[in-house]
Structure formats: C-alpha cells, structure tokens
C-alpha cells in the first residue's frame, strides 16, 4: 500500500520523500517549528496549518501535551488523542479499503517514555467538500427528480459507510458531517479527523449510538433532511426493509443521544456568544 523511510526523526511516505527533502522539510525539528503556512487552528492541545509545496496543498497537524495529558498518557486504558493515533488510523483505514487522507509524514518526541509533542502531515483531498456544506448547497428544496434521487443515493452511501465501519469494529467518535468529504454525489466519501477513532473486536452499543447520533445531529443541522431521509438511512444501516423491535430501540437511544448533543452544542454556542460580547 504505502512504503516509508525513517529520516531525521520522521516517518516519511516514500512518494513524498524527494518533495520534502527538496523543500528542506524532511526533518522533525523543522516541521515542528514550521511557520510557512496559514494557521487554521491553534489551542493548548493542537494546531493545524495549511501550506503549499510546488503547487500542492498540505495540512500539518501538531499535537501538544499539557501536564494533565502527559499524566493520562501513562494510563494504558485511556485513549489518547494525538498524532500517533491519527497516523495509525489513517494507515488502518487505507488498509481496510476506506477513503481517507493520504499520509505524508509523522513524527513524535518523548521524554522518559512520555510523549511531549507529535505531528502528522497529510496532503489535501482536492476538490472535496464537507457534507455539512454539500447537502444544503445541493439539496435545498425545491428539488428536481434527479436531485431527489442523488440525495437519496448519498444518504444510503453514508449509512452504508457507517455500517461498514461498525462491522469492522471501528468507532470514529467524531462522526459528524463536517468530517465526511465528497467530490460528487456518486462518491467516494472520505473520512477525516481520525485522532479519536479506535477499533475493538466488536463495537459496543454505546459507541454505535454515539457515532450515529453525531451524524444524525449534523445532518439535521443542514436543514435539508426529512424524517423519510432519516428512515432511509436507518433501513440501509440495518440492512433491512423492516425494522425489528431491537432496531427501533436503538433508534430511540440514538435520538435521545442526538438531543443531548444538540443541548450541549447550544450551551457551547451561548458561552462563545457571551465571551465574544464581553470583549
């Protein structure tokens, strides 16, 4: 699938080795301190930067480890959100046949066995759009017959993707429409933001509910999803034309979780509004 070279503290995809070397970026310390791009996100836990190399676009995600996170890192039963996890998940999804980001480079620094900094570099998924934007841009009523069919096909594709992930024991944990990208209604769908994803022998009911509630909430936020659309999703996800009592029970739990997500999201938006008005 991919082959890699270890160089200057980095694991580098061989397809990008010459490009990074020619631009003096095949070194962990250089990438760690790189400032030649546009900063898209920057907080105490991580930063995301976009930059161009020879007409190609790349995303550099750097993870920082505050004191409490360093302590958590030594507890084996806790899932850490870091570059190591995302890098491994990119490779795992690719191996399993899912569409995701292209891994370019990875690096990590530890002290006394405890991570203090890590980074991933990936290439852009060109001409792709987040589904949270694609749906309202393309499926806001009134719709032609052709648009209706394309919308229904895409809904079934998302449901089939979710079912496939869960069948393989994968739980995304941030399964929102903003983390699903598409170029056309025929697909494929690309999955991004994988630092929280984990894999189990068999996915737990609570994990299934969380993923499906997240995608349902973000789909509802697009303003173009009907009750029939959600039922169409459910029938495809469960792989049946008739929902069992167990399926309906799971749907009720998903809807309850979705309401909790909506309530939490509303509180966050209110806090941000209050904070911005106080400045």
Residue 56 has pLDDT above 60, yes or no: yes
Q: What is the pLDDT of residues 144-164, one digit of tens each?
A: 999 999 999 999 999 999 999
pLDDT band with cut points at 50, 70 and 90 for residue 7: very high
Residue 79 has pLDDT above 90, yes or no: no
pLDDT at 272: 82
Q: What is the pLDDT of residues 211-233, one digit of tens each?
A: 999 999 999 999 999 999 999 99
φ, ψ at 21 (rounded to 5°): -65, -45
Mean pLDDT along residues 229-253:
97
Task: Record the tokens describing residue 14, joined without a space.
Answer: 């061989």
Task: Record the tokens describing residue 64, joined without a space.
Answer: 């920082």
Residue 236 has pLDDT above 60, yes or no: yes
Give the CA-trace dihedral at 20, 104, 85, 161, to 10 degrees: 160
Please state, rounded to an integer, the average pLDDT across all residues of the chain: 92
DSSP the chain: ---EEEETTEEEEGGGHHHHHHTT--SHHHHHT--SSEEEEE-SSEEEEEEEETTEEEEEEEEE--HHHHHHHT-TTSPP-SHHHHHHHHHHHHHTT-EEPEEEEEEEEEETTEEEEEEEEEE--TT-EEHHHHHHHHHPSS--HHHHHHHHHHHHHHHHHHHHHHHTTEE-S---GGGEEESSTT-PEEE---TT-EE-SS--HHHHHHHHHHHHHHHHHTT---HHHHHHHHHHHHT-SS--HHHHHHHHHHHHHHHHHHHHHHHHHHHHHHHHHT-
Report the C-alpha gap between 125 and 104 in whole angstroms. Answer: 13
| Of 75 and 164, more confident | 164
In order of start, what are the domains of the chain with their CATH numbers? Answer: 4-123 (3.30.200), 129-277 (1.10.510.10)
CB 24 within 8 A of CB 30: yes
Q: What is the pLDDT of residues 80-131, one digit of tens each?
A: 567 899 999 999 999 999 999 999 999 999 887 777 899 999 999 999 999 9
């Amino acid at each position: 699938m991919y082959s890699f070279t270890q160089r200057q503290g980095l694991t580098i995809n061989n397809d990008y080795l010459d490009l990074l070397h020619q631009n003096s970026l095949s070194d962990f310390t250089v990438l760690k301190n790189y400032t030649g791009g546009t900063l898209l996100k920057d907080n105490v836990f991580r930063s995301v930067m976009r930059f161009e190399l020879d007409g190609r676009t790349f995303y550099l995600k750097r993870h920082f480890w505050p004191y409490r996170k360093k302590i958590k890192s030594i507890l084996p039963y806790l899932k850490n959100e870091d570059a190591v996890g995302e890098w491994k998940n990119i490779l795992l999804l690719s191996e399993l046949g899912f569409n995701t980001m292209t891994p370019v480079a990875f690096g990590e620094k530890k002290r006394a066995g405890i991570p203090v900094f890590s980074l991933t570099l990936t290439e852009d998924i060109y001409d792709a759009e987040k589904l949270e934007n694609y749906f309202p841009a393309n499926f806001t009523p009134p719709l032609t017959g052709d648009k209706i069919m394309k919308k229904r096909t895409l809904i079934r594709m998302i449901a089939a993707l979710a079912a496939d992930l869960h069948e393989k024991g994968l739980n995304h944990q941030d399964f929102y429409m903003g983390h699903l990208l598409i170029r056309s209604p025929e697909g494929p769908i690309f999955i991004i933001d994988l630092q929280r994803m984990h894999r189990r022998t068999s996915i737990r009911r609570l994990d299934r509910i969380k993923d499906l509630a997240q995608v349902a909430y973000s789909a509802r936020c697009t303003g173009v999803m009907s009750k029939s659309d959600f039922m169409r999703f459910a029938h495809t996800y469960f792989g049946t034309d008739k929902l069992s009592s167990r399926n309906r029970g799971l749907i009720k739990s998903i809807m309850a979780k979705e309401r909790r997500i909506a309530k939490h999201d509303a509180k966050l938006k209110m806090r941000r509004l209050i904070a911005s008005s106080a400045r």
